[in-house]
Amino acid sequence: MRVIKKIHGDKPSYWVGNGFRIQTLMNHLIENPDFNYSHTDPFLLLDYGVPTTFIPNPHYDSAPHGIGQHPHRGFEAVTVAYAGEICHADSTGASGIIREGDVQWMTAGRGITHEEFHSPAFGKRGGVFSMAQMWINLPQTHKLTEAKYQSLKRAHMPNIELYADNNKQNPIGSATIIAGHYQGISGTAATFTPINLWDIALHTAGTTTLDVPNHHNVMILVQEGELLINDELVNAGNLVQFKAPVDVLNKTSLIEEAAEISLSIDTDSITLTYPTRSDSAENIPTVKLLLLSGEPIGESIAAHGPFVMTTQEELKQAFHDYRNDNFG
């Protein structure tokens, strides 16, 4: 079983633009010996969009809530919509709206500028808005790949039933495979390195066991509700950090681990338990989780603001290119 190292969730919320109230649960720029990039590689950042109720915006068309154009280079930005609608447009010419359950997967690569706002329809009616956004690193060989945008609709993503461990006929939830693989099923998103992104919902009391690659860094965001993860109670807005593969296998570095791990023992287990409740059946809430796992890239990073490169020279070049209109 993959051991839980720490549960993170005591971060204050703040506003990005005027449309996104978030908690940054993971950040590659923070120096923390117990939770830094070596423990989250290839994931750089995770912002949890705290469920927030917006009143109707009378200026939804001319002044939508959100954030205007800003640049990125060297990584991918992935946004999962849980409630509300996000309208995206970028310098590749891509644009679109993602709704509840949809995902936008933006590869910044050699350079992109984009903007994100509440959709006109959501701005007009108002309501609850919630999302999660993560930054995923690109290996040095793909830092300057062409920018692109994947709009992933929930209806086109494969969905797998999750059964109770003590009754394989009793489904207690499901996992939507956004990226990666589970039980022989492949997700919709195209990725540059091995990554799993599973959107999980539990709706019935019971325990189910997930198998995750034992050479991946693994985290789980509890987006809504509460449950037991490996018998530890976790509430909404918390990020569960599991021990890195280097700790599990007593290796001296993640790079060694990635190169030497035996493929014959390829998975670790994580148990999810939806606790028995006294509520009536119609009031039992769904628990929503986002599982992130990824094979460590094992390269250094040089980052500042919206750019994440491998060396300081590459980082300086990113700023030079942006200032001189040689960007994307």
Closest CA to 100 of 188, 176, 185, 208: 176
Predicted local confidence at residue 32, as pLDDT: 86
Give Cβ neighbours of residue 263 (< 8 Å, ≥ 6 apart): none
Render 114-136 in DSSP notation, one character per residue.
EEEEE-HHHHHH-EEEEEEEEEE
Residue with tokens 């296998």: 249
Is residue 72 part of an annotated ligand binding site? yes
Task: Tell me the CA distances in angstroms from 243 to 247, 266, 268, 313, one per residue in order.
Answer: 6, 16, 11, 32
What secondary structure letter does DSSP report for 31? Answer: -
pLDDT tens over the chain, length 328 residues: 999 999 998 889 999 999 999 999 999 988 888 888 989 999 999 999 999 999 999 999 999 999 999 999 999 999 999 999 999 999 999 999 999 999 999 999 999 999 999 999 999 999 999 999 999 999 999 999 999 999 999 999 999 999 999 998 999 999 999 999 999 999 999 999 999 999 999 999 999 999 999 999 999 999 999 999 999 999 999 999 999 885 444 443 444 444 444 334 588 999 999 988 665 545 668 999 999 999 999 999 999 999 999 999 999 999 999 999 888 6
Q: Compute CA 259 distance to the chain's CA centroid, rounded to the nearest angstrom.
A: 25
Q: The tokens of 15 are what?
A: 């506003």
Q: The tokens of 222 are what?
A: 């509890």
Predicted local confidence at residue 279, as pLDDT: 55
Q: With left for phi above 0 and alpha for psi between -120 and 50, is residue 16 left, alpha or beta? A: beta
Any idea where the domains of the chain sit in the sequence?
A: 4-303
Length of the chain: 328
Render 185-226 in DSSP notation, one character per residue.
EE-S---SS-EEEEEEEE-SSEEEEEEEETTSEEEEEEEESE
Backbone angles phi, psi at 241, to 5 degrees: -100, 120
Cβ-contact 110, 145 below 8 angstroms: yes
Tally of CA atoms within 13 A in the half-sphere of 264 that contains its CB: 0
Residue with tokens 């998103």: 189
Q: Compute CA 177 distance to the chain's CA centroid, rounded to the nearest angstrom.
A: 12
Cβ-contact 41, 254 below 8 angstroms: yes
Neighbour count for residue 141 (Cβ, 10 Å): 10
What secondary structure letter does DSSP report for 25? Answer: E
Q: The tokens of 162 are what?
A: 């999750």
One-letter amino acid at 126 equals G
CATH class of the domain at 4-303: mainly beta
Q: For residues 141 and 112, give the distance between their C-alpha atoms in angstroms, rounded to a whole number.
A: 18
Q: The tokens of 93 are what?
A: 């010419």
